[in-house]
């Protein structure tokens, strides 16, 4: 799939799916992978749009206000009069890992297809989506129809039990141009098709051959990340930092990588920048902390030992 050729014009990205409140031990925080990715894309200079749905309740009104405060448009967020705004109960373990209890059903389970969504999707340079958003038929049907219209489809795997199964994930992989997943998700998905314990390169080749996915990102947390493009592979080590929490770090990685990729930067630059933003976010509280690109540049320089 060709990446945007005209780098003089700011790329546009749509982020589809869940927006919600994460109820953390320290208090509630706005969340949802699409919102997180859109926020960081905006910070990285890419114009992004959130396509979602909230309830006609206080949580929904508060969330729309938060989106505006974060610099994100609410133009494509539907308001549901029947279903509540999404909430997630979040627990951070002693190992700084995050556990989720996702309330179901909620407003974003009922995203309705509108003609303006079709028009928007066809105009976008990338369409970012995850697996969680299609856990219910209404939103899944909308997602599938929009994917057929999208020109560059970015699948951020987000396997949350019990909201996924082989057939559904397979249908998404068939519509994917750039795939991002972690090592656990990679092993789980390839395990559906092979009984042997495959090494990562063989796992990647299995997915590329089966689904014709040209580009795959594999993240490993503190062990770094890799990018596979057909027969080429690039590795990126992680920054050595003191982790505060890991919420939203994967979303920031994807946003940073995509921001550079859409501008046709060298893959090594894409990976390095993504690793830097992801590391920076893990030193902060919450998935969408306030920052400027100058803050990020200074952090990367310090963390990489260049100053």
How far is it, in rounded angstroms, from Cα 288 to Cα 275? 16
Helices in the chain by DSSP H: which ranges?
A: 33-43, 58-69, 115-123, 137-147, 166-173, 183-190, 200-211, 249-262, 267-282, 293-303
**pLDDT over 90 percentage in the chain:** 77
Q: How many CB atoms lie within 10 A of CB 31?
A: 28
> Which of 10-14, 52-56, 126-130, 299-303 is predicted with the least confidence, judged by mean pLDDT?
299-303
How far is it, in rounded angstroms, from Cα 241 to Cα 125? 33
Residue found by looking up tokens 């699948």 in the block: 155
Dihedral over Cα of 111, 113, 114, 118: its sign: positive
- Verify cis geometry, omega within 30 degrees of 0, for the bond prior to 83: no
Higher pLDDT, 285 or 66: 66
Residue found by looking up tokens 């795997």 in the block: 157
How far is it, in rounded angstroms, from Cα 47 to Cα 262? 11
Is pLDDT of 6 > 70?
no
Check residue 3 and give its pLDDT.
56
How far is it, in rounded angstroms, from Cα 79 to Cα 54? 5
Q: What is the pLDDT of residues 263-291, one digit of tens each?
A: 999 999 999 999 999 999 999 988 899 99
Higher pLDDT, 26 or 273: 273
The answer to whether the predicted template modeling score (pTM) of the entire model surpasses 0.85 is yes
Instruction: Read off the DSSP letter of residue 7.
Output: T
DSSP string of 49-89, one letter each residue: EEEEEEESSHHHHHHHHHHHHTT---TTEEEESSSPPEEEE
Check residue 146 and give its pLDDT.
98
Catalogue all structural domains in the chain, each as residue range(s) with its CATH number: 14-299 (3.40.1190.20)
Check residue 172 and give its pLDDT.
98
How far is it, in rounded angstroms, from Cα 294 to Cα 247? 22
Check residue 5 and give its pLDDT.
45
Higher pLDDT, 37 or 6: 37
Check residue 24 and give its pLDDT.
78
Check residue 292 and give its pLDDT.
92
Check residue 305 and give its pLDDT.
57
Residue found by looking up tokens 């982790």 in the block: 243
Contact (Cβ atoms closer than 8 angstroms) between residue 95 and residue 114 = no
């Amino acid at each position: 799939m060709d990446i945007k050729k005209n780098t003089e014009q700011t790329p546009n990205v749509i982020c589809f799916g869940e927006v919600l409140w994460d109820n953390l031990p320290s208090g509630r925080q706005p969340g949802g992978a699409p919102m997180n990715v859109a926020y960081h894309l905006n910070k990285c200079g890419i114009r992004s749009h959130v396509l979602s749905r909230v309830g006609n309740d206080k949580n929904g009104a508060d969330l729309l206000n938060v989106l505006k405060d974060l610099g994100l448009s609410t133009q494509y967020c539907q308001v549901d009069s029947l279903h509540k705004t999404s909430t997630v109960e979040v627990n951070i373990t002693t190992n700084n890992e995050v556990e989720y209890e996702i309330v179901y059903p909620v407003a974003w389970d009922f995203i309705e297809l509108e003609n303006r969504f079709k028009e928007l999707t066809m105009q976008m340079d990338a369409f970012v989506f995850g697996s969680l958003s299609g856990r219910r038929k209404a939103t899944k049907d909308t997602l599938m129809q929009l994917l057929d219209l999208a020109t560059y489809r970015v699948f951020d795997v987000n396997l949350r039990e019990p909201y996924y199964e082989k057939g559904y994930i397979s249908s998404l992989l068939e519509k994917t141009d750039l795939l991002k997943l972690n090592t656990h998700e990679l092993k789980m998905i390839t395990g559906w098709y092979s009984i042997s314990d495959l090494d990562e390169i063989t796992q990647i080749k299995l997915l590329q051959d089966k689904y014709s996915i040209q580009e795959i990102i594999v993240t490993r947390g503190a062990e770094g990340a890799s990018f596979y493009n057909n027969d080429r592979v690039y590795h990126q080590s992680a920054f050595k930092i003191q982790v505060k929490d890991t919420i939203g770090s994967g979303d920031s990685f994807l946003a940073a990588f995509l921001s550079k990729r859409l501008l046709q930067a060298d893959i090594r630059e894409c990976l390095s920048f993504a690793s830097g933003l992801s590391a920076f976010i893990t030193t902060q509280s919450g998935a969408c902390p306030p920052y400027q690109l100058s803050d990020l540049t200074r952090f990367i320089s310090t963390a990489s030992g260049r100053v």
